[in-house]
């Protein structure tokens, strides 16, 4: 409901109130569910792909709420909420079994850092989508209402870049913590299995992005790269989550 209303608000401001009320209802409901799971498990629920995606979408919309407090004039909801809903719906197909994949477990902190990294990558992609839409409106020379709500192109470019780099740093910390834990518990620093390769590839793609930004990439090319890179993140989440009993890299 919130996703539909936020998209409608891009064209008619009267939908903003419905969008806000729907968002609050959904956020509170999911918060209660996560809190209930945490009380039952005595730990924040991240041990299954289903729980991880639920936590990821909750954190993403919570980050959206924080952004709206700082920049209420930016129409972030119309671009972020539809993506969050699609990811959440896709998460319903992921495994819910608590059986761990072979190889042992790692601290919940690495899963949480990974979640924060993916949220940063999602927000970077959303700002790139907003950038692309405003750029397209300029080229068409027939702007729609939401064109005037979007931040300047250079602002969206910089915000997207900072979020992507922040995500890369968080992902590096998550991988380092997992490697350290593996060394301390099983003397296996970096198990070379398919779901590890997926995370390695995500890290490499965003590391290349950081290098390209240093070399002067910006604007349209950087926006396309960021959006494409996030598709790889989604592919890792869902493909790896369906292939193994546990979430990508860090649950086994």
Is the pLDDT reported for residue 101 higher than 50? no
- pLDDT tens track for 123-137: 999 999 999 999 988
189 confidence band (pLDDT: 50, 70, 90): very low
Is the pLDDT reported for residue 194 higher than 60? no
SS3 assignment for the chain: CHHHHHHHHCCCHHHHHHHHHHHHHHHHHHHHHHHHHHHHHCCCCCCCHHHHHHHHHHHHHHHHHHHHHHCCCCCCHHHHHHHHHHHHHHHCCCCCCCCCCCCCCCCHHHHHHHHHHHHHHHHHHHHHHHHHHHHHHHHHCCCCHHHHCCCCHHHHHHHHHHHHHHHHHHHHHHHHHHHHHHHHHHCCCCCCCHHHHHHHHHHHHHHHHHHHHHCCCCHHHHHHHHHHHHHHHHHHHHHHHHHCCCCCHHHC
Residue 44 sits at the vertex; the CA angle it makes with 184 and 177, to the nearest 5 degrees, is 25
Q: Please tell me the predicted confidence (pLDDT) of residue 105.
A: 55
78 confidence band (pLDDT: 50, 70, 90): very high
- pLDDT tens track for 3-37: 999 999 988 888 888 999 999 999 999 999 999 98
pTM of the model: 0.86
Can you say whether the dihedral through the CA atoms of 51, 54, 58, 59 is positive or negative?
positive
The length of the chain is 252
Q: Please tell me the predicted confidence (pLDDT) of residue 243.
A: 57
Q: How far apart are CA 162 and CA 154, in angstroms?
A: 12
192 confidence band (pLDDT: 50, 70, 90): very low
Q: How far apart are CA 99 and CA 224, in angstroms?
A: 38
């Amino acid at each position: 409901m919130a996703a539909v209303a936020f998209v409608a608000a891009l064209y008619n401001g009267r939908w903003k109130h419905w969008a806000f009320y729907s968002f609050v209802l959904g956020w509170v409901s999911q918060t209660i569910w996560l809190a209930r799971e945490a009380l039952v498990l005595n730990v924040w629920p991240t041990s299954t792909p289903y729980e991880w995606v639920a936590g990821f979408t909750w954190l993403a919309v919570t980050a959206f709420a924080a952004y709206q407090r700082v920049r209420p004039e930016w129409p972030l909801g119309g671009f972020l909420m539809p993506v969050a809903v699609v990811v959440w719906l896709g998460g319903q197909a992921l495994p819910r079994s608590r059986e761990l994949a072979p190889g042992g477990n790692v601290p919940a902190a690495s899963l949480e850092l990974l979640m924060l990294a993916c949220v940063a990558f999602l927000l970077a992609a959303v700002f790139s989508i907003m950038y692309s839409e405003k750029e397209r409106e300029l080229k068409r020379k027939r702007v729609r209402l939401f064109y005037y709500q979007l931040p300047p192109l250079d602002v969206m470019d910089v915000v997207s870049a900072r979020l992507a780099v922040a995500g890369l740093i968080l992902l590096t910390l998550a991988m380092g913590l997992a490697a350290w834990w593996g060394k301390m518990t099983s003397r296996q620093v970096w198990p070379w299995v398919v779901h590890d390769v997926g995370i390695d590839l995500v890290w490499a793609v965003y590391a290349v992005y950081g290098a390209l930004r240093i070399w002067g990439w910006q604007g349209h090319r950087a926006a396309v790269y960021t959006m494409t890179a996030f598709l790889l993140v989604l592919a890792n989440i869902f493909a790896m989550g369906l292939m193994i009993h546990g979430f990508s890299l860090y649950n086994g």
